[in-house]
Chains A and B, each alone.
Chain A
Amino acid sequence: MHSGLTMITISQTLLSELQAHGVREFPHECCGAMLGEQTLNSETGDLTKQIIELIPIDNHWTVSDDDGFDKRRRFAIRPEDYQAVEKAAKAKNLTLLGFYHSHPDHPAIPSATDLKFAWPNFSYIIQSIITKVPAEIHSYVLDLDAGQFKPEGLEIYA
């Protein structure tokens, strides 16, 4: 829907929270919601999203869900948890910007599974955790026309 460039910003404090979540759950994938504010530059059409709060969510993937893989390679958020973060965003007058998850011992590159479940207009931050240490982190948005993810700018500020 949005056609300009998108950029998402996160403070070093929140980034540390996100990474600590990934380390805590290692070797399983962690997941959570990102609430914040969006600003559209009407001249350039560029959209900037500022993460204001992270909501860690339990990974409810079960092996029988799909393909035999467990939480080391998959995550799932329950519908009731999804509804709770939508309600939290509304109560705080914030926007649900998207979701983060970790890739344990794997690069921060979206997988076919990530793409299968991707929604438009959300940011998907992927944090790589290698042997329990945070590694690269990237953010992606779904490009509906191309049917694949495209990277978005991720700015970390002090």
Chain B
Amino acid sequence: MPKVLIPTPLRPYVDNQDEVSIDKEGPISDVLASLISQYPSLQNHLYDGEGSLRGFINVYVNDEDIRYQDGEKTIVNANQDVSIVPSIAGGI
């Protein structure tokens, strides 16, 4: 089963786990949908109101940014790790 690695700020929404195993392989969009079906309060933190992945979230499949693969169609196989990585930035 693929594992989704949860960043610290989102752990309170997944019972404080740092990773969640997903009983689903296939496109990353399906894997994230399965994760959200288990933990619905993640929805608003991962997707905007129009159903697109939020811009300040980076998603990696086995350390490769999905933006440089097939985006949300990037295939996730069993034993692969999916990392959700927040963008951290700011300024004056």
Tell me the A residues contacting B by CB distance below 8 Å. 1-2, 29, 31, 61, 65, 69, 73-77, 79, 82-83, 86, 89-90, 95-96, 99, 101, 103-104, 106, 110-111, 113-114, 116-122, 124
Contacts and interface: CB of A to CB of B under 8 A. Distances in A.
A57 B45 CA distance: 25
Interface in B21-76: 45, 56, 58, 60, 65
Contacts of B83: 83
B8 interface: yes
A89 B9 CA distance: 13
Contacts, number: 81
Contact of A96 (B8, B65, B89): B8
B57 to A, nearest CB: 10
A82 B85 contact: yes
Interface of B: 7-13, 18, 45, 56, 58, 60, 65, 83, 85-92
Nearest to B65: A79
Given A2-B12, A79-B85, A113-B92, 14 more contacts: A61-B91, A73-B92, A74-B89, A74-B90, A75-B91, A76-B87, A82-B88, A83-B85, A106-B92, A111-B90, A119-B9, A120-B12, A121-B9, A122-B9
B48 to A, nearest CB: 13
A29 B88 contact: no
A82 B86 CA distance: 8
A89 B8 contact: yes
Contacts of A124: 90
Most chain B beta-carbon contacts within 10 A, residue among A31, A110, A119:
A119
Contacts of A89: 8
Contacts of B89: 61, 65, 74-77, 113, 117
B9 A117 contact: no
A117 B92 contact: no
A86 B81 CA distance: 15
